[in-house]
Amino acid sequence: MAQLLNQATSPGDSEVAAGEDYRSKGLSKNSVGLLGSAVIGLSTVAPVYCLTSTLGPTVSEVGLQMPAIFIAGFIPMLLVAFAYRELNKALPDCGTSFTWTVKALGPRIGWLTGWGLMTATVIVLSNLAGVAAEFFYLLIGELTGSQAIVDFGSSTVVHIVTVLLFIAIATAISYRGMTATKWFQYSLVTLQMVVLALFIVMAMVKSGDAPGGGATSLTPSLEWFDPLSVNSFAAFTAGLSLSIFIYWGWDTTLVVNEETTGQHKTPGRAALIAMLVLVSAYALTAVAALMYAGVGEEGLGLGNPDTADNVFAVLAGPVLGPLGPLLFLAVLASAAASLQTTFLPAARTMLAMSTYEAFPRSFAKVHPRFHTPGRATVAAGVATGVFYAVMVVVSENVLIDTIYALGLMICFYYALTAFACVWYFRHDLRRSLRDAVFKGVLPALGGLMLTAVFFQTMRDMWDPAYGSGSSIAGMGSVFVIGVGVLALGLVVMAVMQRRSPAFFRGEVLTRDTPPLVAED
């Protein structure tokens, strides 16, 4: 891995467009450094939130092979990260996947890639707000010893109102820019990682003393790291889809490239640092949780369907004892921090699409004081609130279903970005072994892996039993969410094609077109 990192940051790399005059869209220049960029990546991923939401569903799919699946999910992410790194060095643009796929694969594929990124972000924002609201009342109830507060927060109306309030606060913070809350993000990310490390150590130490009620302490085995031991290919791809979800967000380090010092190289380095931290934390947490609670389907067991969407809520007290509220606080901090930073990719992708006439021009407005895409940020906040409110009514298990659906959309736009890298640099692949590997072979492998997961997942999620087991009009609710949102993109694209024919004729953004200036 060290060798890969060294190669990924070698100074001799050619930068296809490094000499071009990349004019500003109005964003704040040089406001993020290497550490800040890596923290943004970790904050957006929200590792503690991801773990409490996915430990249960992953165990239900792959059982004891959860550590293997978490590591397997890291592999395509790493391969795609090299594609992002190479494209960013040549084309540092806040539109990232949208801009790059338009230049490489054409306006329609590029537009759908941007749509996939934006909608995935809106969906995960709603999920983050839901988890934050749930743990907000759990934390208060734990601190006050009042079950009434927890019950009050579980009311559908109260829950929705709290979620909408959290979304409004996060929208307002994101509207004011990143630098205003830099140290706040550092604090929340540090809190997450310290509490997660404490949980890992305590779970391992107490693994032989786990209480009854479904918990069965286990002895670590090499079989846990063998993906071939998963019962079926369908279970493997379902688990892999969840694993891909828990890494998603590292590419935010690239989305803020126009605001980063050393914009050609720093974002790629920050992404790799964030991913190495994540894979280590996830593998250790998976092992510790299995050692302590096992895979039972009752009580504290990780396979309990009643606690699948919120594992840390039931493990906090038994594992950490009087320090249990710290885990509630860490999940709340994780969701709150990510709720703010996750607005970045949605708003900046919308800004880029608007700047290049692929979206209504009004979203290209940048706030003259805060240097943020203000209107795009507000639009993302409104879309998030509406989506969550509707999904709570439609699906009783909205948190689990949206997580499964997210895996589909993540695979969609990551795979297209990886293939865009290969095609964009196709004339460079014979120049050197390094170009062949990092611009061709590795991105292609990552794209193929994610494509396979995409189609297998789409096939499996038609079954109403997939995910939470709920259905809409006879179809699995996960299928309706995932495929429905992508299909909606085709409708919106058809509308935009009538409004902005020049973009779809390939007259605005081509391989040789320098970025345009956003209107203030």
- pLDDT higher than threshold 80 for residue 456: yes
291/277 Cα distance (integer angstroms) = 21
Q: What is the pTM of this model?
A: 0.79
Predicted confidence at residue 20, as pLDDT, reads: 39
Superfamily grouping for domain 34-505? Amino acid/polyamine transporter I (1.20.1740.10)
Are residues 399 and 53 in contact, defined by beta-carbon separation less than 8 angstroms?
Answer: yes
Domain boundaries, the chain: 34-505
What pLDDT score was predicted for residue 7? Answer: 37
Given a cut of 60, whether residue 489 has pLDDT beyond it is yes
Place of tokens 């997939």: 466
Tell me the pLDDT of the chain averaged across its residues.
81
Tens digit of pLDDT for each residue in 121-146? 888 888 778 878 888 888 888 888 88
The pLDDT value recorded for residue 234 is: 81
Q: State mean pLDDT over 145-168.
A: 85
Q: CA-to-CA distance for 499 and 476, rounded, in angstroms? A: 34
Higher pLDDT, 407 or 137: 137
Q: How far is CA 384 from CA 163, 166, 346, 376, in A?
A: 10, 11, 11, 12
Share of the chain above pLDDT 70, in %: 85
* Cα–Cα distance, 300 to 315 (Å, whole number): 7
Residue 518 has pLDDT above 50, yes or no: no
56 pLDDT above the threshold of 80: yes
Among residues 481, 425, 396, the alpha carbon closest in space to that of 156 is found at 396
Residues comprising the chain, all counted: 520
Strand partners, 476: 471
Cβ neighbours around 486 below 10 Å, total: 20
Our measurement of the distance from residue 12's CA atom to the centroid of its chain's CA atoms, rounded to an integer in Å, reads 31
Which residue did the predictor score with more confidence, 224 or 2? 224
Map tokens 């907000």 to a residue.
136
